A and B are shown apart, each in its own frame.
Chain A
Amino acid sequence: DTAVSQTPKYLVTQMGNDKSIKCEQNLGHDTMYWYKQDSKKFLKIMFSYNNKELIINETVPNRFSPKSPDKAHLNLHINSLELGDSAVYFCASRRGYEENTIYFGEGSWLTVV
């Protein structure tokens, strides 16, 4: 049973399109994240949600809009995709402030052509 699952795993799309990546965790965690890993393997935090509320928004373009319908889900919607959005997007979760281990999904490979 996958703890943090993301879909789709691979996504190839044209510039200007709008796409979504979905994430679900079955760990009962309160906090969920989106991270972006670029071609140089740099991992950068994008967003953090705690109990469906936005906690961290790291100067990400407003074309990126996270949505958390409940605390087990954190979806990422991207409008007007650009070539520079090509990356691997990782969803992650952790129980709460006192539990430090973060559990990552397997990643979603986004390629914008």
Chain B
Amino acid sequence: SQQGEEDPQALSIQEGENATMNCSYKTSINNLQWYRQNSGRGLVHLILIRSNEREKHSGRLRVTLDTSKKSSSLLITASRAADTASYFCATVWINTDKLIFGTGTRLQVFP
């Protein structure tokens, strides 16, 4: 399968805690992106990290990328109940227009 994998599949935490999600992929990439999907809604782009970058920040989000291990992580700091959603990593393969999604992590943040 082309699809990347994410772990954990599901994560439950309390408000204020940090949430870490991991993504592994299978081929050489141009960049890796993280998307969020609220229940019953479309996907919303969160952050993009290029293949020559190792870490990127955006507000409470921190993304790392290790191309040697073909893996990435998304850290959400000081989580809020409103962060409850599914989070997907997606990779853009080198020399293609394909954006291939991982299997997703369902995050539940309890108030």
Chain A interface residues toward B at CB < 8 A: 4, 31, 33, 35, 40-45, 48, 50, 55-56, 90, 92, 97, 100-107
B61 contacts A by Cβ under 8 Å: no
Would you call B42 and A104 a contact (CB within 8 A)? Answer: yes
Residue of B with least CB distance to A97: B97
The SS class assigned to the B binding surface is strand
Binds A, one of B11-19, B76-84, B99-107: B99-107
A-B contact count (CB 8 A): 57
Would you call A100 and B43 a contact (CB within 8 A)? Answer: no
Would you call A45 and B3 a contact (CB within 8 A)? Answer: no
Once A100-B31, A100-B92, A101-B33 are accepted as A-B contacts, the answer to whether A45 and B100 lie under 8 Å apart by CB is yes
Would you call B98 and A48 a contact (CB within 8 A)? Answer: yes
Once A100-B92, A101-B48, A102-B45 are accepted as A-B contacts, the answer to whether A45 and B104 lie under 8 Å apart by CB is no
Would you call B43 and A90 a contact (CB within 8 A)? Answer: yes
B94 contacts A by Cβ under 8 Å: no
Q: Given the complex of chains A and B, what is the CA–CA distance between A92 and B97 in angstroms?
A: 13
Find chain B residues with CB under 8 A from A104 CB.
Answer: 35, 42-44
Within 8 A of A (CB), among B13-67: 30-31, 33, 35, 37, 40-45, 48
Once A90-B43, A106-B42 are accepted as A-B contacts, the answer to whether A100 and B97 lie under 8 Å apart by CB is no
Once A55-B97, A56-B97 are accepted as A-B contacts, the answer to whether A44 and B3 lie under 8 Å apart by CB is yes
